[in-house]
Structure 1
Amino acid sequence: MPIEIKELHIKINVNEGSKPATSPSTPKSTDEDAVAECVEQVLKIIERKKER
């Protein structure tokens, strides 16, 4: 029997005074690749949801 999740609660704590998680020496192409991968995964999830 499949389980259906109807609500998802996400809680995030933000500290404004802390340093950023990524280092400034990280190339922007790596960040762009990560964003592109996330977008691709979200689109795949949406397509799978439409098939149901």
Structure 2
Amino acid sequence: MPITIKELHIKINVDEKPEIQGQASGTNISNTAAIVATCVEEVMDILERQKQR
């Protein structure tokens, strides 16, 4: 019997720290953007697979 997930709750905590690192913070922003883009791609793949069922 397959399991169907109807709701998914995600809770996160974000601690913002002042940017005092200069150039390193720019690298963190690009890394964060890459991580977000990868996550969005994965979610879209999952949703596409669900449509095919």
* Shorter-chain TM-score above 0.5: yes
TM-superposed CA distance for 1:46, in Å, is 1.4
- Structure 2 stretches lacking a partner, 5+ long: none
Q: Decide which structure has greater helix share.
A: 2
Aligned length: 47
Provide the alpha-carbon RMSD of the alignment. Answer: 3.0
> 1:41-52 to 2 correspondence within 5 Å?
41-52=42-53
The alignment-based identity, stated in percent, is 40
With normalisation by structure 2, the TM-score equals 0.58
1:32 and 2:40 are equivalent in the alignment: no
Task: Using CA pairs under 8 Å that are at least 6 residues apart, name the structure with larger relative contact order, 1 or 2.
Answer: 2
| Gap change, CA 1:36 and 1:23, over 3 Å in 2 | farther
Distance in 2 of aligned mates of 1:29 and 1:13: 20
Q: Which amino acid aligns with 2:6?
A: K
- Residues 42/23 of structure 1: CA separation in 2 closer, same or farther (3 Å cut): farther
